[in-house]
Chains A and B, each alone.
Chain A
Amino acid sequence: MGLGGVYRQQMKTSFAAMLQYRAALVIWLISQVLDPVIYLVVWSTVTAASGGEAGGYTRGDFAAYFLVLMLVNNTTYSWIMHEYEYRVREGTLSAALLRPVHPIHADIAD
């Protein structure tokens, strides 16, 4: 079992932590979906009012744009720099440094 095994297990652990609190999970899901839905509704109304197109974009274009935006945002957004600062200051990085794996792997998997 190599680094792949560590990644697999770390992902499972992060996933388990995410699923632990049901209410928090629901709120998070709503917050993630609500944003693009509101934008989409606004732009759909605009395109409908201006005869099916706004600035050369159709309703379908807007839907695709906000969907992709949500996905890209989700996969690229990271607050790891704040987390690292906190870990160093509070001393919790020590536990990660005692392990025979670089601490960054846990965050990448996360």
Chain B
Amino acid sequence: MMRDAAVHVHELAKVYKVAEREAGMAAALHSLVRRKTEDVRAVDGISFDLAPGEVVGFLGPNGAGKTTTLKMLSGLLHPTAGTLSVLGFTPARRERDFLRQITLVMGQRNQLVWDIPALDSFELNRAVYRIPAADYQRTLHEMTELLDLGPLLKKPVRNLSLGERMKCEIAAALLHRPQVVFLDEPTIGLDVTMQRRIRTFFADYNQRFGATVLLTSHYMNDVEALCRRVIVIHEGKLLFDGDLAALLQRFSSHKTIVVQLESCPDKLEGYGEVVSCEDGLVTLRVPKAETSRTTARLLADLPVIDLTVEDPPIEEVIERVFAQKAS
């Protein structure tokens, strides 16, 4: 176990009992008397530690167990097995001192009161979290500035756009300045500009308050911008825990070479797998070990205007990780 870890997870598991039945009336009646259940191992013995102030990406396809883990970490679910500690507390006990120091932002859930302005919900949070008036004013001022909330706070939440509402949700969730922040797809459904804004905000929050952040997102830009370290899970099991760069290194066996030519030549197959060729812009996928040799050949053989060598997009690498493990 890491010394003074903000979050410590050891052999954590969660098994859900899910009722199953065939379709139809007879099956419905039968299941009333005799219910068939299946054990679903949503989280299956994962372990990791987070150091104070660390920002870690928590990746996995849908149904990998990310949200279940976040719910156990924030005390919403009791683990089936394993040990868990956040800031020295056992989350499932839901002690007040614990709840005052954490937050969970879920992109698909909202905690603001729908019909009234966000400012009223903020005031309620001030009372609930017992935030001293001066601290509240200062944090509110900072949030308003960083997230550009000024024009939004006095409008009923239901009249805000998805992005505007998300900004208010985030502000509400952070007014008490939590030391540990769990983010479950905070940028889901938002446009690119809003995603970037929210990313910048969390980076800033982490810098200012030294908060520990665990982030799940399907947008790799979020992960790349915020996290040096990533934890990858699949079907409840931990696949990878380490630097994002190391993940790319380990799982990307290919590089992408983009070459700008006058036009698309006929024979390119000899250089590597041709991903696309449009208006002379050729994208080739080559084995990592062949990269320099292929680059040299391309430059020698063809009238190259421009050439770049890129790592494959992180999405592609992650996809390959999951595909490998699934097969």
List residues of A whose CB falls within 8 A of some B CB: 1-2, 5-6, 8-10, 12-13, 16-17, 20-21, 91-92, 94-95, 97-101
Contacts and interface: CB of A to CB of B under 8 A. Distances in A.
26 contacts: A5-B127, A6-B127, A9-B124, A10-B124, A10-B127, A12-B120, A13-B120, A13-B123, A20-B115, A20-B156, A91-B109, A92-B109, A94-B104, A95-B111, A97-B75, A97-B76, A97-B94, A98-B75, A98-B99, A98-B102, A98-B111, A99-B99, A99-B128, A99-B129, A100-B129, A101-B128
Contacts of A94: 71, 76, 104, 106, 109
Nearest to B117: A16
B116 interface: yes
B109 A12 contact: no
Interface string B74-116: 1110000000000000000010110110111010011101011
B109 A13 contact: no
B135 to A, nearest CB: 12
Given A16-B116, A20-B156, A94-B106, 6 more contacts: A5-B127, A9-B126, A94-B71, A98-B99, A98-B111, A99-B128
A17 B128 contact: no
Nearest to A20: B115
Contacts of A21: 115
A100 B128 CA distance: 7
B35 interface: no
A17 B123 CA distance: 14
Given A21-B115, A99-B99, A8 B127 contact: yes
Contacts of A99: 99, 128-129
A1 to B, nearest CB: 5
Contacts of B320: none
A5 B100 CA distance: 16
B260 interface: no
- Chain B's interface: helix, strand, loop or mixed, by majority? mixed
Interface of B: 71, 74-76, 94, 96-97, 99-100, 102-104, 106, 109-111, 113, 115-116, 120-121, 123-124, 126-130, 156
A96 to B, nearest CB: 8
Given A12-B123, A94-B109, A1 B130 contact: yes
Contact of A13 (B96, B106, B124, B130): B124
A61 B103 CA distance: 56
A5 B116 contact: no
Contacts of B75: 97-98
Contact of A95 (B94, B100, B109): B109
Contacts of A92: 109
A1 B116 contact: no
B102 to A, nearest CB: 8
A50 to B, nearest CB: 49
Given A13-B120, A20-B156, A100 B99 contact: yes
Contacts of A17: 113, 115-116
B280 to A, nearest CB: 52
A3 to B, nearest CB: 9
Given A97-B94, A99-B128, A100-B128, A13 B113 contact: yes
Nearest to A7: B127
B19 to A, nearest CB: 15
Nearest to B99: A100
A95 B103 CA distance: 10
A99 B178 CA distance: 12
Nearest to A24: B115
Contacts of A10: 124, 127
B225 to A, nearest CB: 26
A101 B113 CA distance: 17
Contacts of B116: 13, 16-17, 20
Contacts of B76: 94, 97-98
Contacts of B74: 98
Contacts of B127: 1, 5-6, 8-10
